[in-house]
A and B are shown apart, each in its own frame.
Chain A
Amino acid sequence: MINKVVKNANEAVKDVPDNAVLMLGGFGLCGIPENSIQGLLDTKVKGLTCISNNAGVDDFGIGLLLKTHQVKKMISSYVGENAEFERQLLSGELDVELIPQGTLAERVRAGGAGIPAFYTPAGFGTEVAEGKETREFDGKMYLLEKGLVADFALVKAWKGDTAGNLIFKGTARNFNPMMAAAGKITIAEVEELVPAGELNPNEIHTPGIYVQRIFEGKNYEKRIEQRTVRS
């Protein structure tokens, strides 16, 4: 098996260049690549385009990269959980493209699967459709949406092996598997890294062919945005 292990986040992201297009897994703060984000903070790379469902909060997740002005553009479905994001958007420092969540997921899936474009009904008749080709199938209208790929995909899994195979936990899976496939270079950080052969092949979610670099992350905070409990 090809060994894809790198030492840590700093080694994994050291060659991410200025103006790179990145995909970052996660839904809210659930399943985000915490270590790789810290790695990007350390390299101080600039002008990033970040494709991610959300944009983090003021002091965590992608919000940290916004604070340091390393992000030029966000491509997301739901943003605005943080004040600094809003300030940069309103002042014109940050470019934002909003995409329906299912369209974003499918554009990433298509990109990784070699599908250049597909039709979806989401957004027909709305401003999302502006400038896009539309077509009727069986009496219903659809929009043509293009697949998305990225220079680097930064994903987070629960367990992984030295061959790059990944297993996710709970709802931390979200956008991570599709992004792994859509990155030219995919960097996976995992909570537990094991030798190839130790994961049950029946239970692997993301095949290692999609993953170029893998490392065991550390100090996971796994912040919760809306801690809700019953008494």
Chain B
Amino acid sequence: MALDKIGIAKRIAQEVQDGMYINLGIGIPTLVANYIPDALDVVLQSENGLLGIGQFPTEDEVDADLINAGKQTITMRDGSVLFDSSESFAMIRGGHVDLTILGAMEVSENGDISNWKIPGKMVKGMGGAMDLVASAKNIIVAMQHTSRSGESKLLKECSLPITGLQCVRKIVTNLAVLEVQDGGGFKLLERAPGVSVDEIKEATAGKLIVEGDVAEMKID
């Protein structure tokens, strides 16, 4: 069965390693924070100026001067630090953030990503996405494998305006875990429980590389 959003978030949480500094995008990536094992010590970065995002506040703790990049009220963990926006993007641009997890509308087989604009529709802006994808060392995309109308979002080339070139490493969808290969192509690493390789082939418009038996994801 294909994964739901929580399943995607749980699978991505398995990619997190002890000691990482991580930037989480809005949507499914934000959910990942809920499934990072307690045993791991990681620090979440919010690009509006905080390292060390804590849990959401109680009613009594709500502070209008403390929000995340999605404009949600948050708290700070012990050891947190606050800074301005240029410092925040110095961390990002300078390659100091270990892992970036973000959503996408399309990913191409050479790792290009589109996630900021649909021509003809209202344009909201790229926010920090272009800075993040241009500089992050390790980018994992969380998205549905196909659009609502059933079109593949894993393509030979992106059809929508580009956010960044050749930057995505790994993609976790409702159907599969895939790795972008040097020279192009999505290597199928894992299948969602009960989803066949043929179903994934059917849903992937770009080049899919299948080698040997493809394991099923293990999700609690």
Interface residues, chain A, with chain B CB atoms under 8 Å away: 27-31, 53, 76-80, 86, 89-90, 98, 100-106, 108-109, 120-128, 158, 168-178, 205, 222-230
User: Residues of B contacting A158 with CB < 8 Å?
Assistant: 65
Residue contact B59 to A229, C-beta cutoff 8 Å: yes
Given A226-B72, A227-B62, 14 other A-B residues pairs in contact with their CB atoms under 8 A: A27-B71, A80-B124, A101-B126, A102-B85, A102-B93, A106-B89, A122-B130, A122-B131, A169-B65, A171-B50, A173-B49, A176-B84, A228-B74, A230-B55
Q: How far is the CA of A105 from the CA of B58 in the complex (A)?
A: 32
Contacting residue for B46 out of A29, A171, A178, A226, CB 8 A: A171
Complex CA gap A90/B121 in Å reads 10
> Which A residues touch B122, using CB under 8 A?
80, 86, 89-90
**B67 touching A101, Cβ below 8 Å:** no
Q: Is the CB of A174 within 8 A of B85?
A: yes
B27 sits at the interface (CB 8 A)? no
- Shortest CB–CB separation between residue B110 and chain A, in angstroms? 11
**Contact of A170 with B65 in the complex, beta carbons under 8 Å:** yes
Interface stretch, picked from B14-22, B137-145, B157-165, B209-217, is B157-165
Q: Which of A78, A126, A222, A230 contacts B58 (CB 8 A)?
A: A230
B174-212 CB mask vs A (1 if < 8 Å, else 0) is: 000000000000000000000000000000000000000
The A-contacting residues of B in range 50-88, CB under 8 angstroms, are 50, 55-59, 62-74, 82-86, 88
Q: Which residues of B contact A121 (CB under 8 A)?
A: 93, 134-135
B105 CB to nearest chain A CB (Å)? 14
A229 to B162, CA, bound (A): 35
B-side interface mostly: loop
User: Shortest distance in angstroms between A68's beta carbon and chain B's nearest beta carbon?
Assistant: 22
Chain A residue nearest to B75 (CB atoms) is A230
A31 — which chain B residues lie within 8 A by C-beta? 65
For the complex, give the distance between the alpha carbons of A64 and B85 in Å.
24
A134, B65: Cα distance in complex, Å: 38
B133 to chain A, nearest CB (A): 8
Query: Can you list 8 residue pairs at the A/B interface with Cβ under 8 Å?
Result: A29-B71, A30-B67, A79-B125, A102-B92, A109-B86, A170-B66, A173-B84, A178-B86
Inter-chain contacts of A174 with B (CB < 8 A): 48-49, 84-85
Contact of B125 among A29, A98, A168 (CB under 8 A): A98
The closest CB in chain B to the CB of A120 belongs to B93
Contact of A171 with B92 in the complex, beta carbons under 8 Å = no
**Max chain B CB contacts within 10 Å: which of A78, A101, A227?**
A101
Q: Which residue of B lies closest to A227 (CB)?
A: B73
Indicate if the CB atoms of B84 and A100 lie closer than 8 Å. no
Judged by a CB distance under 8 angstroms, whether B150 is at the interface is no
Given contacts A178-B86, A226-B71, A229-B57, contact A128 B130 (CB under 8 A): yes
